[in-house]
Amino acid sequence: MASLNENENQPEDLEQVPPTTQPELERSEASQVLETMRHLIVEIQSYKADNEQLRKAQEKQQEINEILLQSLHEKNNGKEPRTETRKGPEREESAEKKESSSNETKNSENQVKMSGKRKVDHLEGEFKKIKPTSFDGESKTGEEAEAWLLDIKKYFQIYNYSSNMKFRMAVYNLKGKASIWWQDLKISHGLKEKNLEWVEFKRLFKKQYLSESYYERKTK
């Protein structure tokens, strides 16, 4: 009887936990490895992001340093540092007004020039109506010859003739005996009109029509 009670009073045996098997242990270790790899990947990506930000920050700092160096260089050379400015509406309007004013000034100057040119052209047209007088060689005192020479010199002051053209114009205005004198002189001396100059014609003309005695009479 006592033995029976003792058996009743004894606590029941606890349920025993079955031992972990090998496959379960391997799966647990694999799970831990995967979790560790995930953490490593996250950390690597974080490092990459930090490195990219650091690289961009270094590039930006390098650009700032270059701008500062350029500004210091220009300042040392006496130049104003270059700054980028954007034109606002007021500046653009002011620039347009300046450009318009400049165009108006140029137009006024062109009008003045055109007006002056028209006046010059008009005067030249009036002068072109003036014809040089002719010389016939009938002068006996020499005064008519000297007057003709002075008159044709004034005529040449209007036109920008070459020396040879002046000579040809003078010969063209010789008439009568004077024209005959020139033809005889040209043949006897073998003169070529295309090679003669105005200065040479004046010398020959004075020798023929303005003798020394004429100038001596004028000085008396």
Closest CA to 134 of 145, 143, 124: 145
Enter the tokens of residue 179.
């024209």
Q: What is the pLDDT of residues 34-54, one digit of tens each?
A: 777 777 777 777 767 777 777
Q: Give me the torsion for CA of 97, 103, 107, 110, rounded to 10°.
A: 140
The mean per-residue pLDDT over the stretch 61-85 comes to 69
On whether the CB atoms of residues 151 and 120 are closer than 8 A, the answer is: no
> Which phi-psi region, left, alpha or beta, contains residue 174 (left: φ > 0; alpha: ψ -120 to 50)?
beta
Q: What is the pLDDT of residues 174-220, one digit of tens each?
A: 999 999 999 999 999 999 888 899 999 999 999 999 888 787 787 77
Lowest mean pLDDT among 62-76, 80-94, 162-176: 80-94
Q: Burial letters for 15-24: b for 16+ Cβ neighbours within 10 Å, e otherwise?
A: eeeeeeeeee
Q: Is-above-0.85 flag for pTM? A: no
Distance CA 183, CA 176 (A): 11
Report the interhelical angle of 143-158 vs 163-172 (nearest 10°): 130
Q: What is the pLDDT of residues 20-36, one digit of tens each?
A: 566 776 777 777 777 77
Distance CA 195, CA 193 (A): 5
Domain ranges of the chain: 41-79, 143-219
Enter the tokens of residue 8.
């009743």
pLDDT over threshold 60, residue 132: yes
